[in-house]
Amino acid sequence: MNRRTFIGTSASAVAIGLAGCAGSAGDDAESPESDDAEPTTEPDATTTAPPEQRYTVMMAPVGDVTFEAVPETFTVYESGYADMAVALGKGEDLLAVGNTGRFYTDHYDELDGVTVASEPTQLLGDSYAIDRELFYELDSDVHLIDPQWLINNGFGLEQSDVDGVTEDVGPFVGNTVFRRTDGWHDYRYYTLYEAFEKVAQVFQRTDRYEAVKSVHDDTLATVSAELPSADDRPNALLCFGASAEPEQFYPYRLSDRGTNKKQFRDLGITDALAGTGVSGLSTNDRGQIDYETMLSVDPDSILLRGHEGKTRQEFEDTVVSFMQDHDVASELTAVREGRVFRGGPIYQGPLQHLFNLERFATLYFPDQFSGELFPRDDLAAAVRGEA
Protein backbone atom coordinates (compact mmCIF):
# COMPACT_ATOMS: atom_id res chain seq x y z
CA MET A 1 0.00 0.00 0.00
CA ASN A 2 2.49 2.62 -1.20
CA ARG A 3 2.62 4.92 -4.21
CA ARG A 4 1.79 1.93 -6.44
CA THR A 5 -1.61 1.52 -4.81
CA PHE A 6 -2.37 5.00 -3.47
CA ILE A 7 -3.92 7.11 -6.22
CA GLY A 8 -3.71 10.56 -4.69
CA THR A 9 -5.47 13.76 -3.73
CA SER A 10 -7.31 16.29 -5.80
CA ALA A 11 -5.74 19.58 -6.84
CA SER A 12 -8.16 21.41 -4.56
CA ALA A 13 -7.08 19.24 -1.67
CA VAL A 14 -3.44 20.16 -2.22
CA ALA A 15 -4.43 23.82 -2.09
CA ILE A 16 -6.20 23.22 1.21
CA GLY A 17 -3.12 21.53 2.60
CA LEU A 18 -0.98 24.52 1.67
CA ALA A 19 -3.25 27.35 2.70
CA GLY A 20 -6.09 26.08 4.86
CA CYS A 21 -9.78 26.80 4.30
CA ALA A 22 -10.85 30.41 4.16
CA GLY A 23 -13.88 31.22 6.27
CA SER A 24 -13.71 28.01 8.30
CA ALA A 25 -15.54 27.48 11.57
CA GLY A 26 -14.17 28.74 14.85
CA ASP A 27 -13.59 26.85 18.07
CA ASP A 28 -17.23 26.39 18.94
CA ALA A 29 -18.69 25.45 15.57
CA GLU A 30 -18.22 22.86 12.88
CA SER A 31 -17.99 24.01 9.29
CA PRO A 32 -20.04 22.26 6.61
CA GLU A 33 -18.50 19.28 4.91
CA SER A 34 -19.76 16.95 2.24
CA ASP A 35 -18.68 13.34 2.17
CA ASP A 36 -20.57 12.81 -1.07
CA ALA A 37 -18.33 14.83 -3.39
CA GLU A 38 -16.93 12.91 -6.32
CA PRO A 39 -13.12 12.63 -6.34
CA THR A 40 -11.54 14.86 -8.95
CA THR A 41 -8.30 12.89 -9.24
CA GLU A 42 -7.68 11.17 -12.55
CA PRO A 43 -6.58 7.54 -12.15
CA ASP A 44 -2.84 6.97 -12.44
CA ALA A 45 -1.87 5.27 -15.66
CA THR A 46 -0.05 2.55 -13.69
CA THR A 47 -3.09 1.68 -11.59
CA THR A 48 -4.33 -1.85 -12.11
CA ALA A 49 -7.11 -2.15 -9.54
CA PRO A 50 -10.62 -2.01 -11.04
CA PRO A 51 -12.60 1.15 -10.26
CA GLU A 52 -15.11 -0.69 -8.06
CA GLN A 53 -12.33 -1.50 -5.57
CA ARG A 54 -11.27 2.13 -5.15
CA TYR A 55 -12.70 4.35 -2.47
CA THR A 56 -12.20 7.91 -1.34
CA VAL A 57 -11.96 9.39 2.14
CA MET A 58 -12.38 13.15 2.55
CA MET A 59 -10.86 14.86 5.59
CA ALA A 60 -9.55 18.39 6.03
CA PRO A 61 -6.92 19.65 5.55
CA VAL A 62 -5.76 17.20 2.85
CA GLY A 63 -9.14 16.74 1.19
CA ASP A 64 -10.01 13.73 -0.97
CA VAL A 65 -7.63 10.77 -0.62
CA THR A 66 -8.36 7.85 -2.92
CA PHE A 67 -7.24 4.31 -2.17
CA GLU A 68 -7.30 1.28 -4.43
CA ALA A 69 -6.50 -1.12 -1.58
CA VAL A 70 -7.25 -1.03 2.13
CA PRO A 71 -4.10 0.05 4.00
CA GLU A 72 -2.63 -2.34 6.52
CA THR A 73 0.17 -0.63 8.47
CA PHE A 74 -0.15 2.92 9.80
CA THR A 75 1.69 5.67 11.69
CA VAL A 76 0.20 8.39 13.91
CA TYR A 77 1.41 11.47 15.75
CA GLU A 78 -1.49 12.01 18.17
CA SER A 79 -1.82 8.71 20.00
CA GLY A 80 -5.58 9.30 20.06
CA TYR A 81 -5.53 8.20 16.43
CA ALA A 82 -3.77 5.01 17.49
CA ASP A 83 -6.61 4.40 19.95
CA MET A 84 -9.10 4.89 17.12
CA ALA A 85 -7.34 2.24 15.07
CA VAL A 86 -7.17 -0.12 18.06
CA ALA A 87 -10.94 0.35 18.40
CA LEU A 88 -11.23 -0.95 14.84
CA GLY A 89 -9.14 -4.04 15.56
CA LYS A 90 -6.02 -2.62 13.91
CA GLY A 91 -3.80 -2.20 16.97
CA GLU A 92 -1.16 -4.72 15.92
CA ASP A 93 -0.54 -2.81 12.67
CA LEU A 94 0.62 0.39 14.41
CA LEU A 95 4.21 1.24 13.47
CA ALA A 96 4.88 4.57 15.20
CA VAL A 97 3.45 7.34 17.38
CA GLY A 98 4.64 10.90 17.90
CA ASN A 99 5.59 10.53 21.57
CA THR A 100 5.51 7.05 23.10
CA GLY A 101 5.50 8.58 26.59
CA ARG A 102 2.01 9.94 25.91
CA PHE A 103 0.59 6.68 24.55
CA TYR A 104 -1.18 4.94 27.44
CA THR A 105 -2.35 1.38 26.86
CA ASP A 106 -3.30 -0.03 30.27
CA HIS A 107 -7.01 0.20 29.51
CA TYR A 108 -6.68 -2.42 26.76
CA ASP A 109 -5.92 -4.99 29.47
CA GLU A 110 -9.58 -4.78 30.52
CA LEU A 111 -10.83 -5.64 27.02
CA ASP A 112 -10.58 -9.30 26.10
CA GLY A 113 -8.88 -9.88 22.76
CA VAL A 114 -7.99 -6.20 22.20
CA THR A 115 -4.31 -5.76 21.46
CA VAL A 116 -1.83 -3.15 20.28
CA ALA A 117 1.73 -3.21 18.99
CA SER A 118 4.00 -3.52 22.03
CA GLU A 119 6.86 -1.24 20.99
CA PRO A 120 5.87 1.32 18.35
CA THR A 121 8.62 3.62 17.12
CA GLN A 122 8.68 7.21 18.41
CA LEU A 123 8.64 9.88 15.72
CA LEU A 124 10.09 12.60 17.93
CA GLY A 125 13.86 12.61 18.00
CA ASP A 126 16.46 14.75 19.68
CA SER A 127 15.70 18.46 20.09
CA TYR A 128 12.00 17.94 19.29
CA ALA A 129 12.81 17.15 15.65
CA ILE A 130 11.34 14.53 13.33
CA ASP A 131 13.65 12.96 10.76
CA ARG A 132 12.01 12.88 7.35
CA GLU A 133 13.85 9.67 6.55
CA LEU A 134 12.09 7.88 9.39
CA PHE A 135 8.88 7.90 7.37
CA TYR A 136 10.71 6.08 4.59
CA GLU A 137 12.17 3.55 7.01
CA LEU A 138 8.76 2.84 8.54
CA ASP A 139 7.13 2.53 5.11
CA SER A 140 3.60 2.90 6.50
CA ASP A 141 0.68 2.33 4.19
CA VAL A 142 -1.09 5.40 5.58
CA HIS A 143 -0.17 8.25 7.97
CA LEU A 144 -3.06 9.18 10.28
CA ILE A 145 -1.51 12.60 10.86
CA ASP A 146 -2.49 16.17 10.08
CA PRO A 147 0.36 17.31 7.79
CA GLN A 148 -0.13 20.91 8.92
CA TRP A 149 0.70 19.79 12.46
CA LEU A 150 4.04 18.48 11.22
CA ILE A 151 4.80 21.65 9.24
CA ASN A 152 3.80 24.24 11.85
CA ASN A 153 5.27 22.94 15.11
CA GLY A 154 9.02 23.23 14.78
CA PHE A 155 9.72 19.61 13.90
CA GLY A 156 12.01 20.64 11.05
CA LEU A 157 9.63 19.48 8.33
CA GLU A 158 8.32 21.47 5.37
CA GLN A 159 5.56 21.06 2.81
CA SER A 160 8.05 19.52 0.39
CA ASP A 161 8.84 16.81 2.96
CA VAL A 162 5.15 15.97 3.34
CA ASP A 163 4.72 15.93 -0.43
CA GLY A 164 7.68 13.58 -0.84
CA VAL A 165 6.45 11.14 1.81
CA THR A 166 2.97 11.21 0.28
CA GLU A 167 4.34 10.41 -3.16
CA ASP A 168 6.96 7.85 -2.19
CA VAL A 169 5.51 6.14 0.89
CA GLY A 170 1.81 6.70 1.61
CA PRO A 171 -0.86 9.37 2.08
CA PHE A 172 -1.69 11.55 5.07
CA VAL A 173 -5.23 11.48 6.47
CA GLY A 174 -5.69 13.32 9.74
CA ASN A 175 -6.71 16.50 11.52
CA THR A 176 -5.31 18.03 14.72
CA VAL A 177 -8.26 17.46 17.03
CA PHE A 178 -6.86 17.20 20.55
CA ARG A 179 -6.92 21.00 20.98
CA ARG A 180 -8.35 24.05 19.22
CA THR A 181 -5.87 26.78 20.06
CA ASP A 182 -3.52 26.78 17.07
CA GLY A 183 -3.62 29.92 14.95
CA TRP A 184 -2.54 28.05 11.82
CA HIS A 185 -5.50 25.65 12.09
CA ASP A 186 -7.87 27.72 9.95
CA TYR A 187 -9.76 24.76 8.48
CA ARG A 188 -12.44 22.46 9.80
CA TYR A 189 -12.14 20.78 13.20
CA TYR A 190 -13.64 17.39 13.95
CA THR A 191 -15.18 15.97 17.09
CA LEU A 192 -13.74 12.74 18.49
CA TYR A 193 -16.33 10.56 16.80
CA GLU A 194 -16.22 12.49 13.52
CA ALA A 195 -12.47 11.85 13.33
CA PHE A 196 -12.99 8.23 14.41
CA GLU A 197 -15.47 7.72 11.59
CA LYS A 198 -12.93 9.00 9.06
CA VAL A 199 -10.37 6.49 10.34
CA ALA A 200 -13.00 3.76 10.05
CA GLN A 201 -13.53 4.78 6.42
CA VAL A 202 -9.79 4.58 5.77
CA PHE A 203 -9.67 0.99 7.06
CA GLN A 204 -13.13 0.13 5.66
CA ARG A 205 -14.36 -0.94 9.10
CA THR A 206 -17.35 1.29 9.64
CA ASP A 207 -19.26 -1.64 11.17
CA ARG A 208 -16.85 -1.68 14.12
CA TYR A 209 -17.05 2.09 14.37
CA GLU A 210 -20.84 1.87 14.63
CA ALA A 211 -20.62 -0.86 17.27
CA VAL A 212 -18.18 1.12 19.44
CA LYS A 213 -20.27 4.25 18.97
CA SER A 214 -23.34 2.34 20.17
CA VAL A 215 -21.57 1.49 23.45
CA HIS A 216 -20.51 5.14 23.76
CA ASP A 217 -24.00 6.48 23.09
CA ASP A 218 -25.65 4.10 25.57
CA THR A 219 -23.05 4.89 28.25
CA LEU A 220 -23.29 8.64 27.76
CA ALA A 221 -27.09 8.52 27.91
CA THR A 222 -26.98 6.57 31.17
CA VAL A 223 -24.41 8.89 32.75
CA SER A 224 -26.20 12.04 31.60
CA ALA A 225 -29.46 10.86 33.13
CA GLU A 226 -27.83 10.42 36.55
CA LEU A 227 -25.81 13.64 36.73
CA PRO A 228 -26.74 16.18 39.41
CA SER A 229 -28.21 19.49 38.28
CA ALA A 230 -25.89 21.97 36.60
CA ASP A 231 -25.77 24.14 39.74
CA ASP A 232 -24.40 21.19 41.72
CA ARG A 233 -21.55 20.42 39.34
CA PRO A 234 -18.13 21.88 40.22
CA ASN A 235 -15.86 23.94 38.03
CA ALA A 236 -12.26 22.92 37.40
CA LEU A 237 -8.87 24.46 36.77
CA LEU A 238 -7.07 22.31 34.21
CA CYS A 239 -3.31 22.83 34.12
CA PHE A 240 0.00 21.15 33.42
CA GLY A 241 2.64 20.66 36.11
CA ALA A 242 4.67 17.47 35.87
CA SER A 243 6.77 17.87 39.01
CA ALA A 244 6.02 15.76 42.08
CA GLU A 245 6.31 19.02 44.05
CA PRO A 246 4.82 21.54 41.60
CA GLU A 247 5.11 25.30 42.16
CA GLN A 248 4.44 26.63 38.63
CA PHE A 249 1.69 25.54 36.23
CA TYR A 250 0.75 26.00 32.61
CA PRO A 251 -3.03 26.63 32.51
CA TYR A 252 -5.32 25.10 29.90
CA ARG A 253 -8.80 26.34 29.09
CA LEU A 254 -11.31 23.65 29.92
CA SER A 255 -13.75 25.41 27.60
CA ASP A 256 -11.58 24.51 24.59
CA ARG A 257 -13.46 21.91 22.57
CA GLY A 258 -10.48 19.67 21.85
CA THR A 259 -11.05 15.93 22.02
CA ASN A 260 -8.94 15.46 25.16
CA LYS A 261 -11.53 17.41 27.17
CA LYS A 262 -14.59 15.53 25.94
CA GLN A 263 -15.18 13.66 29.23
CA PHE A 264 -15.32 16.96 31.14
CA ARG A 265 -17.86 18.39 28.70
CA ASP A 266 -19.86 15.16 28.97
CA LEU A 267 -19.99 15.61 32.76
CA GLY A 268 -20.79 19.31 32.67
CA ILE A 269 -17.58 20.35 34.45
CA THR A 270 -17.13 24.08 33.76
CA ASP A 271 -14.00 26.16 33.27
CA ALA A 272 -12.79 27.85 36.47
CA LEU A 273 -10.82 30.37 34.38
CA ALA A 274 -13.91 31.69 32.60
CA GLY A 275 -14.05 35.46 33.02
CA THR A 276 -10.76 35.67 34.95
CA GLY A 277 -8.56 37.02 32.17
CA VAL A 278 -6.12 34.12 32.56
CA SER A 279 -5.41 32.62 29.16
CA GLY A 280 -4.60 29.00 28.44
CA LEU A 281 -1.64 27.05 27.15
CA SER A 282 -1.35 27.10 23.36
CA THR A 283 1.29 27.27 20.69
CA ASN A 284 1.69 31.02 21.13
CA ASP A 285 0.98 31.45 24.84
CA ARG A 286 3.18 29.60 27.32
CA GLY A 287 2.47 31.72 30.39
CA GLN A 288 2.64 30.14 33.82
CA ILE A 289 0.63 30.65 37.00
CA ASP A 290 1.52 29.97 40.64
CA TYR A 291 -0.46 29.14 43.77
CA GLU A 292 -1.20 32.81 44.44
CA THR A 293 -2.91 33.07 41.04
CA MET A 294 -4.75 29.82 41.71
CA LEU A 295 -5.93 31.15 45.07
CA SER A 296 -7.30 34.29 43.41
CA VAL A 297 -9.43 32.00 41.22
CA ASP A 298 -9.95 29.37 43.97
CA PRO A 299 -11.40 26.64 41.73
CA ASP A 300 -13.76 23.97 43.02
CA SER A 301 -11.37 21.33 41.66
CA ILE A 302 -7.93 21.08 40.08
CA LEU A 303 -7.06 18.77 37.19
CA LEU A 304 -3.30 18.40 36.91
CA ARG A 305 -1.75 16.96 33.77
CA GLY A 306 1.65 15.34 33.45
CA HIS A 307 1.00 12.52 35.94
CA GLU A 308 -0.77 9.81 33.92
CA GLY A 309 2.13 7.45 34.58
CA LYS A 310 1.23 7.46 38.29
CA THR A 311 -1.57 5.55 39.91
CA ARG A 312 -4.15 7.58 41.78
CA GLN A 313 -2.53 6.58 45.08
CA GLU A 314 0.96 7.52 43.87
CA PHE A 315 -0.39 10.90 42.76
CA GLU A 316 -1.97 11.52 46.16
CA ASP A 317 1.17 10.40 48.03
CA THR A 318 3.36 12.84 46.08
CA VAL A 319 1.63 15.81 44.44
CA VAL A 320 -1.47 16.06 46.63
CA SER A 321 0.55 15.52 49.81
CA PHE A 322 2.93 18.31 48.80
CA MET A 323 0.03 20.67 48.13
CA GLN A 324 -1.58 19.86 51.48
CA ASP A 325 1.65 20.83 53.25
CA HIS A 326 2.26 23.98 51.16
CA ASP A 327 1.61 27.33 52.87
CA VAL A 328 -0.48 28.73 49.99
CA ALA A 329 -1.72 25.62 48.16
CA SER A 330 -3.21 24.27 51.39
CA GLU A 331 -5.62 27.24 51.41
CA LEU A 332 -7.16 26.25 48.07
CA THR A 333 -10.73 24.93 48.27
CA ALA A 334 -9.85 22.07 45.92
CA VAL A 335 -7.00 20.97 48.19
CA ARG A 336 -8.99 21.30 51.41
CA GLU A 337 -11.98 19.39 50.01
CA GLY A 338 -9.97 16.65 48.30
CA ARG A 339 -10.69 17.51 44.68
CA VAL A 340 -7.21 17.52 43.14
CA PHE A 341 -7.08 14.89 40.40
CA ARG A 342 -4.77 13.77 37.63
CA GLY A 343 -5.94 15.65 34.56
CA GLY A 344 -6.15 12.86 31.99
CA PRO A 345 -4.09 12.29 28.83
CA ILE A 346 -3.10 14.93 26.30
CA TYR A 347 -4.37 12.69 23.50
CA GLN A 348 -7.26 10.24 23.68
CA GLY A 349 -9.33 8.12 21.35
CA PRO A 350 -12.77 6.52 21.73
CA LEU A 351 -11.73 3.60 23.95
CA GLN A 352 -9.68 5.69 26.32
CA HIS A 353 -12.47 8.27 26.46
CA LEU A 354 -14.91 5.69 27.82
CA PHE A 355 -12.50 4.74 30.59
CA ASN A 356 -11.85 8.42 31.36
CA LEU A 357 -15.56 9.21 31.39
CA GLU A 358 -16.02 6.45 33.96
CA ARG A 359 -12.98 7.60 35.94
CA PHE A 360 -14.03 11.22 36.27
CA ALA A 361 -17.71 10.46 36.78
CA THR A 362 -16.84 8.34 39.83
CA LEU A 363 -14.29 10.89 41.11
CA TYR A 364 -16.54 13.93 40.78
CA PHE A 365 -19.88 12.35 41.61
CA PRO A 366 -19.29 9.37 43.92
CA ASP A 367 -22.86 9.58 45.21
CA GLN A 368 -24.21 8.95 41.72
CA PHE A 369 -21.57 6.68 40.17
CA SER A 370 -19.43 3.76 41.28
CA GLY A 371 -17.92 0.67 39.71
CA GLU A 372 -18.00 -0.01 35.98
CA LEU A 373 -20.21 2.33 33.96
CA PHE A 374 -20.02 0.49 30.64
CA PRO A 375 -19.93 -3.22 29.69
CA ARG A 376 -16.36 -4.33 28.94
CA ASP A 377 -17.53 -7.46 27.13
CA ASP A 378 -19.74 -5.49 24.76
CA LEU A 379 -16.97 -3.00 23.98
CA ALA A 380 -14.42 -5.75 23.40
CA ALA A 381 -16.83 -7.58 21.10
CA ALA A 382 -17.34 -4.36 19.12
CA VAL A 383 -13.58 -3.99 18.67
CA ARG A 384 -13.22 -7.62 17.61
CA GLY A 385 -15.98 -7.23 15.03
CA GLU A 386 -18.32 -9.59 16.89
CA ALA A 387 -21.00 -7.15 18.04
| CA neighbor of 262 nearest in space, from 149, 130, 162, 361 | 361
The helix/strand/coil state of 67 is strand
DSSP line for 26-51: -TT-PPP--S-PPP-PPPPTT--S-G
Nearest partner of 302 among 330, 335, 268, 280, judged by Cα:
335
What is this structure's pTM? Answer: 0.86
Q: CB 19: neighbour CB atoms within 10 A?
A: 12
- Beta-bridge mates of residue 76: 144
Q: Which residue ranges form the domains of the chain, and what is each CATH number?
A: 6-214 (3.40.50.1980), 228-384 (3.40.50.1980)
CA 4 → CA 132, 309, 346, distances in Å? 20, 41, 36
Residue 174 is predicted with a pLDDT of 98
Q: Which of 350, 52, 19, 98 is nearest to 199 (CA)?
A: 350
Task: Check the CA dihedral 32-38-40-45 and report its sign.
Answer: positive
Per-10-residue mean pLDDT, the chain, length 387: 49 36 32 33 45 91 97 98 98 98 96 96 95 98 98 97 98 97 96 98 98 98 97 95 93 92 97 78 61 94 95 96 97 98 96 98 97 98 96
Please give the Cα distance from 75 to 287 (Å, whole number).
Answer: 32
pLDDT at 288: 86
Distance CA 294, CA 272 (A): 10
pLDDT value of residue 9: 53
